[in-house]
Chains A and B, each alone.
Chain A
Amino acid sequence: DAGVIQSPRHEVTEMGQEVTLRCKPISGHNSLFWYRQTMMRGLELLIYFNNNVPIDDSGMPEDRFSAKMPNASFSTLKIQPSEPRDSAVYFCASRLGQNQETQYFGPGTRLLVL
């Protein structure tokens, strides 16, 4: 299995631009999580989906952030417009099912907003 796949691995953009991060979970996994990691705030859960349905988006910082999961094999996290404080590493993780506790993380997308 290829594991969780994220793209791009690195993204540099200018303030105000739209940024789209992509994630392909492990095949057969029913839950998907988006996290953000910064030195100041550590690892924060932004949103998670069960069976493609958003369950909890309370961690999404503000309306500039949106996430979708149109099907079981693909999810996007969009930031529009981006700001320098959005600079962070964004991780996607997937889990086999709601009753499974272990999460499998992707390699992350390192985002720098200038």
Chain B
Amino acid sequence: SQQGEEDPQALSIQEGENATMNCSYKTSINNLQWYRQNSGRGLVHLILIRSNEREKHSGRLRVTLDTSKKSSSLLITASRAADTASYFCATAPTGTASKLTFGTGTRLQVTL
């Protein structure tokens, strides 16, 4: 089964609004990463947060990590139509940092 489960599965918002996606995982981790996948394309790395970090920012992205709840959230502020894509969390379990396990993904639709 998937290590990461994203919630919601699909999200539709208007341009300018904020989008929040959540990820839950099962085992202890070394780090958690978020990737974006545009339709018909490969995945693109967005941001990485380590197990000893609680929050990280990169441009319009904000990621939080709660290791006690085994969950993470990705916030995209002031969304744009170009943000329309699927977003995946990926976890690197402790001791197996090479093996990323991807979640089920959240499909984000940003409309004008």
Complexed CA–CA distance, A50 and B102 (Å) = 20
Q: Determine if B97 is an interface residue (Cβ-Cβ < 8 Å).
A: yes
CA distance A105 to B104 in the complex (A): 17
- A50's partner among B33, B44, B98 (CB-CB below 8 A) is B98
Residues of chain A within 8 A (CB-CB) of B104 are 42
Contact with A along B11-38 (1 / 0, CB 8 A): 0000000000000000000010101000
> Are B100's CB and A105's CB within 8 A?
no
Q: Is the CB of A42 within 8 A of B2?
A: yes
Q: Is B99 an interface residue when CB atoms closer than 8 A count as contact?
A: yes
Determine if A91 and B42 form an interchain contact, defined as CB atoms under 8 angstroms apart. yes
Interface residue tally for chain B (C-beta within 8 Å): 21
Residue from B42, B92, B101 in contact with A4 in the complex, judged by beta carbons closer than 8 Å: B42
Contact with B along A91-114 (1 / 0, CB 8 A): 101000010011111111000000
CB atoms of B33 and A42 under 8 A apart: no
Selected from B44, B99, B105, the residue in CB contact (under 8 A) with A42 is: B105
Known: A42-B2, A42-B105. A104 touches B45 (CB 8 A): yes
The interface size of chain A toward B, counting residues with CB under 8 Å, comes to: 21
Q: Is the interface of A mostly helix, strand, loop or mixed?
A: strand
In the complex, chain B residues whose CB is within 8 Å of the CB of A75? none
Instruction: State whether the Cβ of A45 lies closer than 8 Å to any Cβ in chain B.
Output: yes
Known: A101-B31, A101-B92. A42 touches B102 (CB 8 A): yes
Q: Do residues A105 and B33 form an inter-chain contact, with CB atoms below 8 A?
A: no
19 pairs, A vs B, C-beta closer than 8 Å: A4-B42, A31-B98, A42-B102, A42-B103, A43-B102, A45-B99, A50-B98, A56-B99, A91-B42, A91-B43, A93-B43, A98-B98, A101-B48, A102-B33, A102-B48, A105-B42, A105-B43, A107-B42, A108-B41
Q: Which residues of B contact A (CB under 8 A)?
A: 2, 31, 33, 35, 41-45, 48, 88, 92, 97-105
- Please name the 4 residue pairs, one residue from A and one from B, whose CB atoms are nearest each other, closest first: A105-B42, A43-B102, A105-B43, A102-B45
